[in-house]
A = this chain, B = another copy of it.
Amino acid sequence: MEAKNLIDLDNISLEDLDEIIRFAGVIKENPTYFVDVCHGKIMATLFYEPSTRTQMSFQTAALRLGCKLIGFDDPGSSSVSKGESLKDTVRVISNYADIIVIRNAFEGAALASSMYSRSPVINAGDGGHLHPTQTLTDLVTLSYEKGRLDNLTIGLCGDMKHGRTVHSLIKSLSKYKNNKFLMVSTPELKLPQYLVDYMEAQGCEYAYADTLEEIMPEIDVLYMTRIQRERFPSVEAYEAQKGVYVLDKKKMDLAKPDLRVLHPLPRVDEITVEVDEDPRAKYFEQTEYGMYARMALIIKMLENRTADIPPTKKSTHDAKCTNMRCITQTEEYLPKLFREVDGDLVCKYCDTRIKKK
């Protein structure tokens, strides 16, 4: 595997991705072989905003490899947040830990961290921007449960507009051949145009549906997510429509015997409890696949550790990102890094496109 950090799944080659997915399967089949493979190593989980769920999945993965843990999960009251820059924290922690997992409310924080870290950095969520190990979890689950990542008809239900996990999954699955996406959502919560363009560029088929019932007989996979109440245009619309986006036993009866149902969890009420008993429901198993995926990732990342301080980067442009949630807003020492797309500038930290004047 080539990658030194995991910031964005898009920057990982398909070869690297396949290597991690295959390796996760090996671990699943032989978990006891791996009990001590990272003995003597330390992982730091730097959670600038609390996410018990994500943090526990990383911690479990590390511990199952014999890796030890340091970190924090809510630095609000701690000295870490007392005016210290992200750079200084990362420089210090990468003296302590062999691998760093970071979650931060600002977009691009993981990329920024990797620029100063002597140890590999894994992005565990940078605001609403990226959360690559969730998508890796989804891919490992699908690969193992369906035996393939291509030639799948994938149902996607929920909020297609804001759902970070759905966007990332679509991007990743579009890279494999002959995948088809059937999307069930409200008209207001359709997929953003740039992702529709992306699917078309990759030659993927896609279609919209108004109800789950329409797509159930056809799909190989159903990826459920939640539509938050406040996303509906009105309380009346919510009350009238909410049942449409709920998976229940009756809808499951319409589906193929080898359907697999996934959900990034936590589930609220968008899947009824009775569906849990259905052997096609795999959302709880998905968390176990996520553990194997993270174990594979940690092993591969630790193999790539050099302990060098990365070479200093210089600003590429004399410009400032306009996204107020970009990490460059608060960490002013960061070099200004942009790539040019059709003459516009795109911030390398948060992927915000800044229009030419």
Contact = CB atoms under 8 A, between A and B. Distances in A.
B266 A96 contact: no
A357 interface: no
A21 interface: no
Contacts of A40: 32, 35, 64
Most buried by B among A50, A82, A312: A50
A3 interface: no
A52 B79 contact: yes
Contacts of A291: 95-96
Interface in A48-73: 50-54, 56-57, 59-60, 63-64, 68-73
Given A42-B60, A64-B42, A265 B52 contact: no
Contacts of A71: 56
A333 interface: yes
Nearest to A83: B268
B266 A79 contact: yes
Contact of A80 (B53, B70, B333): B53
Given A56-B93, A73-B78, 16 more contacts: A32-B40, A42-B64, A51-B78, A52-B79, A53-B92, A56-B70, A56-B71, A57-B96, A63-B70, A84-B267, A84-B268, A88-B265, A88-B284, A95-B285, A95-B291, A273-B333
